[in-house]
Structure 1
Amino acid sequence: MHHKRFENMKQVKICLIILLGICFRFCQDKVTTEYLKRFVATETYPTDVFLDTVSNQRALIIVAHDDDDCAMSGMIAKLTAKGWTIKQLSLQSHILLTTGSNPAHIICQGNELILKDGYYRIGLDTMKNPYLPIPYKKIKEQFLTDKVASAIIKKVNDFKPSVIFTLDNEKGGYGHPEHIFISQLVKDLFEKDKIHIDKIYQSVYTDQLEKEIIDKWLGDRLKKWGYPNPSAIANEIYGISGMPEPTVQVNITEVAEIKMNYLRAYEEDVRKNLRKFIPYYEEFDAKTYFGIFDREFFRVIEKINY
């Protein structure tokens, strides 16, 4: 009897030690706001004023994957709150198992696939790492440019937006060929006057953001996990030092809750990728997190008239 009681007490003590160890580890690993500030952009750019003067308050987000707009979602939510009509177009999208809808409806009028059949890249179903950068020439060879272009031209000119939001066409954020393809295509169509809009807003990181988040923080994790670093590969292949420099910034604190709700609405398989580019966003409330990351940055593309 005494022996059994002793064994029970021993088991309880072991459980308490394990629990205390977990709590200690959690407290050690918990990220502070001071640590978070190491990632914040130190640069300052002119505040965008153009979008406040536009009479045609219609915009399209055109991206390869629906979650590609994560770094511009504050701007989109802000414009939607001001009465803009905005729709997201993508080559791939995710439908939530809980609601049967796409998370884009949180920040705009929802998501629509650019192609009904979803076929836009040759050999995509057999590629091991389709996200790794490839030369621009190979992007032209792998992607069904004419097919996608025709769909975009019709959708854009039917919708009649004043602006289009995309990622940058040089690096596509971190080198994903599909990001570069769709952003370059939109830029080409704009400059060839195939789509009729005023400007393109390309979502980009500042040098500081890219250095601290993509190069250092994510780069160290990819190395630890044994994965190649697509950002470093892209810089080497394309002969660049990073994303294009922003031309404007936008304060997004007033839509912090909406942006956070959008980022957290995706299923786990998407959120695990978002964590790579938006560090620790799930560990803070919206007001605190976007009180620190209070700006979004864009390179604005305008048509050159000769």
Structure 2
Amino acid sequence: MKRLIRSIKIIVIAVLILLIAQIFYFIYLSPTEEYPKDNYLENAQNKTALIVVAHDDDASFFAGTTAKLTKAGWDINFITFYSKQWRAEEYDIRKQEMREVADYLSFKNLWMHDLRIRHEINPNGKPWMPMEYKYYKEEFNVDSLYQLISTAILKSKPSVILMLDTVMGFYGHNDHTVVGQVTYNAAKNINDSNKIIERIYQYVWPPSYAEKVMGGKEVYEAAKKIYKIEGMPKPTVEIDISDYAAEKKKVLELHASQQRNLTKLFWAYSYYPAWLYFGIFNTEYFNLIEM
């Protein structure tokens, strides 16, 4: 009996040491930089936002900010794209997961378009690997994207657009970058004739965090080399999401079919209480484009 009790104590101590070590690792990973606090969203007159992402789960990266806007009375509109080119077996389940996210965050409009972002995909290739911008027009359905995104802007009339960045699409995925660039061009052209959009919020990570999490990964390093950059655009504002930790974790979990990708960015998040994990990673960062 004494031996059993001793073994249990050893196991408990080992688990506690492991948990403490992981928490310290999270603290090590967390960004060291500080940026100006965003105050525009709290004071905006037109409380309408449009989220534009290539893939539905991309928006879960900044779900804390989205939840914050929802709680503040904003109308949230969302546009994303689907096809059966890649992992066709996930087509239906992803749409259902996105509907659940939209219900959870009380979106005003959810536009899920069936569109091949890229004309063709090599089933044995790596479609997420970056390519030079000059090939985008011939490789991607830029015109269709432009039309659909422009329509979403004109229908929702947002003061704010939230998306991934136009330079490397967060970590280098072509689809992200193409959709970001098309969205910016559509917003700029619409604003030239009838100013609607005030700001574009591009979700990014501070350099210290990006390098610790993504440094050395094939797609990220390839993007830096191809685009001749040091990384994604640097943040210009930060948003505290401490009060929306539970909502962010829930949104990440609702994209159940995409955990293989999400857990690479938000490592081990599902094993910890939201208040703890997103108490450490309690800030979302954006590079602002003022329109």
Q: TM-score, normalised by structure 1?
A: 0.81
Of residues 134, 140, 148, the one that matches 2:137 is 140
Contact 1:64 1:91 in 2 (8 A): yes
Measure how far apart 1:280 and its partner are. Answer: 1.5
Q: 1:103 aligns with which of 101, 104, 111?
A: 101
Change (3 A) 1:162 1:34: same
What amino acid is aligned across from residue 199 of structure 1 in structure 2? R
Classify 1:141/1:59 alpha carbon distance in 2 versus 1 (closer, same or farther; 3 Å): same
The structural deviation recorded for 1:87 is 2.0
- Structure 2 equivalent of residue 273 of structure 1: 261
1:291 Cα deviation from its structure 2 partner: 0.9
The residue aligned with 2:86 is none
Q: 1:252 aligns to what?
A: 241
Matches within 5 A, 1:11-50: 30=19, 32-50=22-40
Partner of 1:226: none
- Alignment map for 1:220-235 (pairs within 5 Å): 229-235=218-224
Alignment-derived partner of residue 153 in structure 2: 156
The aligned counterpart of 2:197 is 197
Matching residue of 1:13: none
CA contact (8 A) 2:161 2:201 kept: yes
Q: Does 1:299 align with 2:287?
A: yes
Which residue matches 2:227?
Answer: 238
Return the letter of the residue paired with 1:261. Answer: K
Instruction: Please list the CA deviations of residues 23-48 of structure 1 after superposition, one character each: whole Å capped at 9, or x if unmatched.
Output: 99977765531121111110000000
Bigger CA radius of gyration: 1
Aligned-partner Cα distance in 1 for 2:164–2:248: 18
The answer to whether the Cα contact below 8 Å between 1:104 and 1:262 also exists between their aligned partners in 2 is no
Indicate which of 62, 70, 77 corresponds to 1:80.
Answer: 70
Deviations along 1:6-31, whole A, 9 cap, x unmatched? xxxxxxxxxxxxx9x99999777655
Three-state SS of the structure 2 residue aligned to 1:122 is: coil
Cα 1:50–1:188 change in 2 (3 A) is same
Structure 2 match to 1:207 = 207
Shift of 1:154: 1.3
Aligned to 1:51: 41
- Write the distance in 1 (CA, Å) between the matches of 2:148 and 2:267: 35
Query: Are the aligned partners of 2:33 and 2:206 in contact in 1 as well (CA < 8 Å)?
Result: yes
Tell me: CA distance 1:163–1:52, structure 2 relative to 1, closer, same or farther (3 Å): same
Q: 2:180 maps to what in 1?
A: 183
Gap runs ≥5 in structure 2: 1-7, 83-90
* Residue number in structure 2 paired with 1:91: 81
Could you give the per-residue CA deviations for residues 173-231 of structure 1, whole angstroms, max 9, x where no partner exists? 11000000000111112222368311100000000110111116xx3xxxxxxxxx100
Q: 1:199 to 1:127 in 2, by over 3 A?
A: farther
Q: Distance in 2 between matches of 1:98 and 1:158?
A: 23
Partner Cα distance (1:158, 1:100) in 2: 20
Q: Tell me the secondary structure at the aligned position of residue 236 of structure 1.
A: helix
CA apart distance, 1:144: 1.4
Distance change in 2, residues 1:301/1:271 (3 Å): same
Deviation of the 1:266 alpha carbon: 1.7
Change (3 A) 1:130 1:40: same
Code of the residue aligned with 1:152 in structure 2: it is I
Secondary structure of residue in 1 paired with 2:53: strand
TM-score with structure 2 setting the length: 0.85
In 1, the alpha carbon distance for the partners of 2:274 and 2:122 equals 37
> 1:108 offset after TM fit, Å?
4.2
Give structure 1 stretches of 5+ with no counterpart: 1-18, 220-228
RMSD: 2.7
CA distance in 1, matches of 2:115, 2:244: 32
Give the equivalent residue in structure 1 for 2:276: 288
